[in-house]
Chain A
Amino acid sequence: GNSVTQMEGPVTLSEEAFLTINCTYTATGYPSLFWYVQYPGEGLQLLLKATKADDKGSNKGFEATYRKETTSFHLEKGSVQVSDSAVYFCALSDEVSDSWGKLQFGAGTQVVVTP
């Protein structure tokens, strides 16, 4: 079955540091890949997505590239801010699923950015 594996947290960084969160996946076919972010007390928000190999998703300074050869979708940001403190979820939607919105999520990675 499908699965998403992401690095365990918490990841603690100083402001302006470089952030990488690793995400690898297992899926049949060609899934769409997503990063969602969850701020404290809120629901998940879509951060970025990529729907085919070599696509790069980007938003708010975050980037991730769909690498089919390594089945990865690592999230990066060059200079984090305190406001980036949140839990980040990698997810996939299998193209052969009965519903694209039936997402398979990773366990989530908590990121803590200190001033």
Chain B
Amino acid sequence: DSGVTQTPKHLITATGQRVTLRCSPRSGDLSVYWYQQSLDQGLQFLIQYYNGEERAKGNILERFSAQQFPDLHSELNLSSLELGDSALYFCASAPGTATTNEKLFFGSGTQLSVL
């Protein structure tokens, strides 16, 4: 158990809908990362938050947004969903800042299926 909790584990929805994925990092970790794992794109970095602020952005679509709350949990919001958004979404956490080379602790993911 990595200590990172993601909910829900599975999500089935329809095209055009909006969903929210939730992530609780390990106790004490300030950084939260979101990754998308899909069959065609593989594992891709989406976005990072550190202590409530956006720190780095990757290949995140404009229809997607994220935030990190004062209690350090994070939410990834996906809107106007398309079939191609079907993927496994991972959250990972780490203790430190972007300048600290530490390992990431991954949650077990949320499997999103858009029908």
- Which positions in A face B, CB cutoff 8 Å? 32, 36, 41-46, 49, 51, 89, 93, 97-108
Contact = CB atoms under 8 A, between A and B. Distances in A.
Given A98-B55, A101-B104, A43 B90 contact: yes
Interface of B: 2, 4, 31, 33, 42-45, 48, 55-56, 58, 90, 92, 94, 98-101, 103-104, 106-109
Given A97-B56, A103-B43, A103-B45, 19 more contacts: A32-B101, A42-B108, A45-B2, A45-B106, A46-B103, A93-B101, A98-B55, A98-B98, A99-B48, A99-B98, A101-B31, A101-B56, A101-B98, A101-B104, A102-B33, A103-B104, A106-B42, A108-B42, A108-B43
A107 B48 contact: no
Contacts of B92: 43-44, 101
Closest 7 CB pairs of A and B: A43-B106, A99-B56, A105-B43, A46-B103, A99-B98, A44-B106, A98-B56
Q: Is the interface of A mostly helix, strand, loop or mixed?
A: loop
B4 A43 contact: yes
A101 B48 contact: yes
Max chain B CB contacts within 10 Å: which of A36, A44, A51, A106?
A44
B108 A43 contact: yes
